[in-house]
Amino acid sequence: MKPVRPTNHKIMKTAGIIGGSGFIGSHITKKFLEEGYNVKVSVTDIKKSEKYQHLFNLENSDNLNISALRVEDSEMLKDFISDCEIVVHGGTPFQLDVEDPQKDLFDPTIKGTENFLDAIQQAPLIEKVVFIASVAAWNTNFPLPAGTKTINEVLDENDLKFTSPESHPYAQAKFIANQIVEKFISENPVLPFEITSVSPVMVMGKSLSNREDSTSTGIQFLFKNKIAPNPFIQMFYDEDIPMAIVDVEDVAEAIFKASTTSRLHGKNYLLSSETYPVSDVSLMLNHQKPKNKGIIIYKNNLAKVDLRIDFKPVAETLWTYAN
């Protein structure tokens, strides 16, 4: 069955964006505001206005509401989504340096997903739910190859999913969360709303805020300046690891399309542009031409067809960040 495109969505429906002030979330918030939606954005600490103040500089910010929310709190979740027709769940913290993986990653990611799935069943208005998953839903070893695959073998949505207890805790948490969502969909064949997921590879591009605590912008800074604060990042340079990249604006566009296109229930889309070795990523971040030609390792055909996404070339994405 072909996806059904949206008709007139400018009837001031409400979109709830969990994690809507972060690197990816801010671009999602911007997109929904531009398209004429009321937008509710959750933040973990309402007192830290520096983390969301930039959103009020966006077009149509009069239609923006900021709410405090911790995804581990069931009652707060139910209250947040009670008046939403669309809910985008992007509230998983993207952290590579963690002191307590259970507290900082597994609990908010896994417990938060379980609470959210319980909450949406009780929300009266929801028509569409979009989960921001991760390439880790297919390969927790990303950017290293999945299992027995070589570093240049192509992976798409039909491949077997790979996970390992040796993978980074963030990737493991995202993998488990995606499994919970898939299990929920299979156990609830009749729902009054659709659930769709997107799984981006490494998201790069220009931040909408001046925050300095974003992991995504931080990694771009490290790669641009060839800084290695820990052995994990040093490995990228030593082995010149191929890095699959996707533009943050393309991710926001894909999420908006997934939110406003029907008959996508149960699908999970890989979002990816080209793959380059880290040495070329560093060159492009410094306005220099890469030595290699970009290749598609994580396929994006399904997103191109169903979501009509024309993925930006990585060189354009990195140029945008560098400027």
Residue 37 has φ and ψ, to the nearest 5°, of -95, 150
pLDDT value of residue 152: 85
Distances in whole angstroms, Cα of residue 46 to Cα of each of 31, 38, 83: 22, 19, 20
- The pLDDT score that the predictor gives to residue 4 is 60
Q: What is the pLDDT along the chain (323 residues), one digit of tens a residue?
A: 567 655 444 568 999 999 999 999 999 999 999 999 999 999 988 999 888 999 999 999 999 999 998 888 889 999 999 999 999 998 666 666 667 767 777 777 788 899 999 999 999 999 999 999 999 999 999 999 988 888 889 999 999 999 999 888 888 889 999 999 999 999 999 999 999 999 999 999 999 988 766 778 889 999 999 999 888 889 999 999 999 999 999 999 999 999 999 999 999 999 999 999 999 999 999 999 999 999 999 999 999 999 999 999 999 999 988 66
Sheet holding 64-68, edge to edge: 64-68, 38-43, 14-18, 86-89, 128-132, 194-200, 268-271
Q: Does domain 14-205+245-272+297-311 correspond to CATH entry 3.40.50.720?
A: yes
Cβ neighbours for 183, distance < 8 A, ≥ 6 positions apart: none
In the DSSP assignment, the letter for residue 160 is P
pLDDT tens for 5-38 read: 554 445 689 999 999 999 999 999 999 999 999 9
pTM for the predicted model, two decimal places: 0.93
pLDDT attached to residue 7: 46
Contacts of 271 (CB under 8 A, 6+ apart): 198, 199, 200, 201, 246, 250, 251, 254, 300, 303, 309, 311
Q: What residue spans define the domains of the chain? A: 14-205+245-272+297-311
- Which H/E stretch holds residue 181? helix 169-187
Q: Is 67 helix (H, G, I), strand (E, B) or coil?
A: strand
Is the Cα torsion angle 297, 298, 299, 304 positive or negative in sign? Answer: negative
Q: What is the pLDDT of residues 161-175, one digit of tens each?
A: 999 998 888 888 899
Q: What is the DSSP letter of 162?
A: B
- What one-character DSSP code corresponds to residue 44? S
β-bridge partners, 180: none
The Cβ of residue 57 has, within 10 Å, a number of other Cβ atoms equal to 10
- What are the Cα distances from residue 126, in Å, to 67, 72, 85, 176, 227? 18, 20, 4, 24, 45
